[in-house]
Chains A and B, each alone.
Chain A
Amino acid sequence: MAEHIVTKKQYAYVFVILLVLTLGTTVAGNMDLGPFNVVVALVIAVIKASLVVLFFMHVYWSTKLTRLVAVSGIAWLGLLLWLTLTDMISRGWLGVPGK
């Protein structure tokens, strides 16, 4: 399959968006958003990572198989977090230390 050529303009747009989001992280980092401190930081980080994967790493223009590989990696990270959280969240429900 022929390689998709990304124009310099497209790269520049993505780069500018990444810079804006970095600025957003810095501004949010200096604000006290209470329980949303981590949420906001993570949301911005996920958007930035997605932009890098989709455009700088060309997944946006890749085959279905390549996209499946990328999604599998994220799904497996989700699996790790999800089943670990079943423990972290439910610890203490019984009121018995260590259970």
Chain B
Amino acid sequence: MITATVEARDNYLTHEYGVKSWLLTKDHKRIALLYLASITFFFFLGGIFATIIRLELLTPPGDLVSSQTYNKLFSLHGIIMVFLFLIPSIPATLGNFLVPMMLGCKDLAFPKLNLLSWYIFVVGGLFVLYAMLIGGVDTGWTFYVPLSTSYANTYVILTAVGVFITGFSSILTGLNFIVTVHRMRAPGLTWFRLPLFIWSTYATSVIQVLGTPVIAVTLLLVALERGFHLGIFDPALGGDPVLFQHLFWFYSHPAVYIMVLPAMGVVSELVSTYSRKKVFGYKFVAFASVAIAILGFLVWGHHMFVAGQSVYASMVFSMLSYLVAVPSAIKVFNWTATLYKGSISYDTPMLYAFGFIGLFTMGGLTGTFLASLGFDVHVTDTYFVVAHFHYIMVGGTMMAYLGGLHYWWPKISGRMYPEGWAKLSALVVFLGFNLTFFPQFIMGYLGMPRRYHAYPEEFQVYHVLSTAGASVLAVGYLIPAMYFIWSLRYGPIAPDNPWRATGLEWQTSSPPPPDNFEITPVVTHEAYDYSVVEEMTVG
């Protein structure tokens, strides 16, 4: 790690002052911070719901909250974490901050549209918050019919409208990234010189643009059937309830890749920087992102093996689901090969990257279990599934998000975080995560159903372990929240390139000037060419 001396330079944080300068900003870096603040709020709100859920499950009887309240708790936990935290997490914060800088340009292609995306996100979030405050929703984050259209007596339409609105934010961000990558790359920055974070963000954007309209239309149809009794999903009105699941999962399965592809991009950057090596098989890793984005749209039926979907369709979806494992495995093998004979350093971001690789692999492998027809019937709607997707979404995306936040924090804030505390928190998060979710694989396999607030006594030991793990995990998340805030004022001044990394974002000052670069950079090398950095350091 390199240290720096204090030197006052104009930067995006100090260029303008006042609330108005933030709320009307068109600077992608400031908008990234607006997103960071918003999604951090939603993360801790969703975390509070998770805490109450885990406390309820400490004992077999439903004694802390009623079953109705429990239903609302897991519904709001899921809706907030998926739509208001995980989906915007890496793209809207790190993506917004980094895409223009990695491309060597001043801003995204449509800066005003970028600000509009944030406002749309906030409006959608406020709808969900309002629904929560006046009574909540109890359909689960999946809004399955006929519960959501005919039976639920909670604020389904209001919540669905909130999710519907945030979808537009996601589409506009994706559109902005796609156009920026196509049109605004610095001179010399060819497609195969792009950092892999850009490739994965680009693939994510394609999913956002192509998939999100379908969830918007689906939720609109739910609202129309619930409000006006149009016969779309209700068989009594001539509809088909399984059709809802087709439409819902056509978006919501690729949405998992909206969450995890950018995380893979972050991990590619971290693994390369902290092993001082080019990513092994750059083109394979780049095209694996595109392959995941495309194949991810062909597998949604594996969520419906016991939902009344025909066996023949299930067989097709099962086979297609196995295909996604191929590009995912390419990435994991290539990261591992990158480490081979690398000069590895164990800084905090790298600890999170290691955590990601291990946990994502476990989540991915259990995903192939679930793609097999016979096994899936046994564990559908059990804690096995809950553990599986938390290994992907929390073990995967959250680890990479935290790793990325640490890695680029010096660039974002101009300050260093305390390395000792950061390493400790990475360890606490890893241990807490596994203690929370590994027992859920076992109890799910043994038959513990998800979404129950009371359960037989033989499952208690696993629930106690899981709740203990959740407490550790909560501590692991609170520590970075505290030291990041601390570092804004007291952290050592960050140098421009503390990790001696290769991306264009490291060639400008920390924090960057409002227009990112004093002079438009010209790219003459491939990505991850560390000989250039060594020359600059020596020179």
From A79, A98, A99, give the contact of B298 (CB < 8 A): A79
Q: Which residues of A contact B210 (CB under 8 A)?
A: 72-73, 76
A92 to B312, CA, bound (A): 10
B485 within 8 A of A: no
B349 within 8 A of A: no
Give the shortest distance, in Å, between A80 (CB) and chain B (any CB). Answer: 5
Binary flags per residue of A64-99, CB closer than 8 Å to B gives 1, else 0: 010000001100100110011011101111100011
From A72, A76, A79, A99, give the contact of B310 (CB < 8 A): A99
Q: Given the known A-B contacts A72-B210, A79-B298, are A84 and B311 also in contact in the complex, defined by CB atoms under 8 Å?
A: no
From B182, B298, B301, give the contact of A87 (CB < 8 A): B301
Q: Which residues of A contact B386 (CB under 8 A)?
A: none
A99 to B307, CA, bound (A): 9
Question: Secondary structure of the A side of the interface?
Answer: helix
Interface residues of A, count at CB 8 A: 18
A47 to B316, CA, bound (A): 32
A65 to B211, CA, bound (A): 19
Q: Which residue of B lies closest to A91 (CB)?
A: B310
Q: Which residues of A contact B224 (CB under 8 A)?
A: none
Is the CB–CB distance between A90 and B298 below 8 Å? no
Q: Which residue of B lies closest to A79 (CB)?
A: B297
Give the shortest distance, in Å, between A97 (CB) and chain B (any CB). Answer: 9
Q: Which residues of B contact A98 (CB under 8 A)?
A: 308
A90 to B20, CA, bound (A): 58
Is the CB–CB distance between B316 and A86 below 8 Å? yes
Q: Which residues of B contact A73 (CB under 8 A)?
A: 210
Is the CB–CB distance between B312 and A90 below 8 Å? yes
From A72, A80, A86, give the contact of B214 (CB < 8 A): A80
B184 within 8 A of A: no
Q: Which residue of B lies closest to A65 (CB)?
A: B182
Q: Which residues of A contact B461 (CB under 8 A)?
A: none
Is the CB–CB distance between A87 and B214 below 8 Å? no
Chain B interfacial positions (CB closer than 8 Å to A)? 182, 210-211, 214, 240, 242-243, 246-247, 250, 297-298, 300-301, 304, 308-313, 316-317
Can you offer 23 A-B residue contacts whose CB atoms are under 8 A? A73-B210, A76-B211, A76-B297, A80-B214, A80-B246, A83-B298, A83-B300, A84-B250, A86-B310, A86-B312, A87-B242, A87-B246, A87-B309, A87-B313, A90-B310, A90-B312, A90-B313, A91-B309, A93-B311, A94-B310, A94-B311, A98-B308, A99-B310
**With A72-B210, A90-B310 already in contact, 18 other A-B pairs whose C-beta atoms are closer than 8 Å:** A76-B210, A79-B297, A80-B247, A80-B250, A83-B246, A83-B298, A84-B243, A86-B301, A86-B312, A86-B313, A86-B316, A88-B240, A90-B311, A92-B310, A93-B312, A94-B310, A98-B308, A99-B310
